[in-house]
Amino acid sequence: MLIGCAIGINREVQGKPTGVRTLGLVALGAALAVMASTDFAGNGHEGSASRAIQGVITGIGFLGAGVILKDSTSGHVQGLTTAASIWVTACLGLICGLGAWKAVLVSAGLMAALLTVGGLIDHEVHRRWRAREKDRMDKDVPS
């Protein structure tokens, strides 16, 4: 999750539509998916669990894509954090299905913290980025 957040800060500074929360959630979800397909599938049904995990991960992408919207006039993208939240929630469900309750509790806590604190970080980075852009534009205007 921390790697995703670090990348998210970079994306925020660059003015890209993804940010701390979105990429933090994607990283957390990917870690959960790997955990589900490797560490926790030792119940003798590795093949069926692996196929189920693969199907959920593939299918959930379509659901997440349905909440992502782009405003054609401004080019602003909305719904990325929601899509990532859907994906992480699916991964949490997979982990629940495998009975790894400690991983679920820790991951759910991380997700809640990221959505809360990450939003504050997102807003602050956006505020500073907009102020920097405004300063840059003010310097370009001849006096």
- Note the pLDDT tens digit of each residue in 33-73: 877 776 555 555 556 677 778 888 888 888 778 888 888 88
Nearest to 64 by CA among 96, 101, 18: 18
pTM of the model: 0.70
The residue with tokens 């982990």 is 95
Q: What pLDDT, in 10s, does the model give residues 91-143?
A: 988 888 778 889 989 999 999 889 888 888 988 998 998 888 888 877 776 65
**E strands of the chain, at which residues?**
69-70, 77-78
Tokens representing 29 are 């979800």
Q: What's residue 81's pLDDT? A: 87
Tokens representing 5 are 């957040």
Q: What's residue 48's pLDDT? A: 65
